[in-house]
Amino acid sequence: MINEENEFNKIYDSLSEIESLVDRMYVPTTTMEDGIHKREIVANRGNYKKFVDFEINFTHNYYDFITTIVHKLVDITNSKIHSEKNSQILYMKIIDILRKMTYQRGHRGVIGELDGAAEKFKNSKSSAFINILDIDINLIDDALNVIENFKSKFLTDPHEKSSQSL
């Protein structure tokens, strides 16, 4: 039998550790975002390319590993925490972490992710694996529609709709 209080404490402690890191990452992530506009970075094409590579490795890895852990903690919370009160405490902490990360990313991060996902879906349409694995190609169009619908509903300013306009 699972000791729910111990499981709650383990999850809560992990979320607290993640939240502490997310809070400390605010300055580096915003510095990274501002760095793209710094003259000393933009002026030298080689330096700019190195910065972009560093930014991708640093921020994307940060967002990816935190998101992966948080998703797993959602699953663990869902399967091991049965108390409504305890579940609510954990889910609120999870939402707060995700909210902070969304704020750190800003609109460009969201737009870039959506545009990148759309491009990858478009490219996958021509893959031979679509037919080999008997994947319904309409799912790709449905995914593209979800992306576009989200952008039209929630990214209301014209400059927010596409990263190409940045």
Q: What is the pLDDT of residues 43-56, one digit of tens each?
A: 777 788 888 888 88
Q: Which tens digits make up the pLDDT trace of 78-96?
A: 999 999 999 999 999 999 9
Handedness of CA 41, 44, 45, 51 (dihedral sign): negative
Given a cut of 50, the residues of the chain with pLDDT beneath it are 1, 159-166
3-state secondary structure of 20: helix
Q: Alpha carbon of 109 to those of 13, 83, 154, 160: distances in Å?
A: 28, 36, 14, 11
pLDDT given for residue 43 in this prediction: 75
Task: Please state the pTM of the whole predicted model.
Answer: 0.76
Q: Classify each residue of 35-72 as buried b or exposed e, where b means 16 or more C-beta atoms within 10 Å of its C-beta.
A: beeeeebeeeeeeeeebeeebeeebeebbeebeeebee
Residue 163: what residue type?
S
Q: Give yes or no for a contact between 35 and 101, defined as CB atoms under 8 angstroms apart.
A: no
